[in-house]
């Protein structure tokens, strides 16, 4: 898999160019698999130290998402990795 900057990737996508050589399909989830996942949400409150909040905000700003979004994505990625690790054992 080739790598490029996010800016170049966005330009290629916006221009309708083929971007598949820059995608990692090994981590992709098919739509039919997503339907199997539990999608009902449940609200939780978590207290973080101030430095974590500041770091989360910086990372979220870099990629243009909200703090809540980056927390959800990172936790989901970690859980998938842990589950995959357990299944591989």
Architecture of domain 41-89: Orthogonal Bundle (1.10)
Residue 89 CA: distances (Å) to CA of 26, 29, 55, 85: 19, 22, 33, 6
Residue 28 has pLDDT above 70, yes or no: yes
pLDDT at 58: 96
| Angstrom distance (rounded) from CA 43 to CA 36 | 21
Over 60: is that where the pLDDT of 89 sits?
A: no
Give me the residue spans of the domains in the chain: 1-37, 41-89
State how far the Cα of 86 lies from the Cα of 33, in Å rounded to an integer: 20
Please state, rounded to an integer, the average pLDDT across all residues of the chain.
Answer: 86
Q: pTM for the whole thing?
A: 0.52
**Dihedral sign for Cα atoms in the order 29, 33, 34, 36:** negative
Q: Please tell me the total number of residues recorded for the chain in this structure.
A: 89
pLDDT in tens, 59-81: 999 999 999 999 999 999 998 88
- Residues whose CB is less than 8 angstroms from the CB of residue 65 and which lie 6 or more positions away in sequence, other chains included: 73
pLDDT value for 47: 96
pLDDT, position 54: 97
């Amino acid at each position: 898999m080739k790598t490029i900057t996010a800016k170049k990737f966005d330009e290629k996508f916006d221009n309708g160019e083929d971007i598949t050589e820059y995608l990692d399909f090994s981590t992709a989830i098919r739509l039919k698999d997503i339907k199997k996942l539990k999608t009902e949400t449940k609200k939780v409150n978590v207290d973080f130290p101030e430095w974590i909040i500041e770091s989360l905000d910086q990372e979220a700003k870099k990629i243009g998402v909200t703090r809540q979004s980056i927390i959800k994505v990172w936790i989901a990625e970690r859980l998938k990795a842990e589950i995959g690790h357990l299944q591989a054992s």
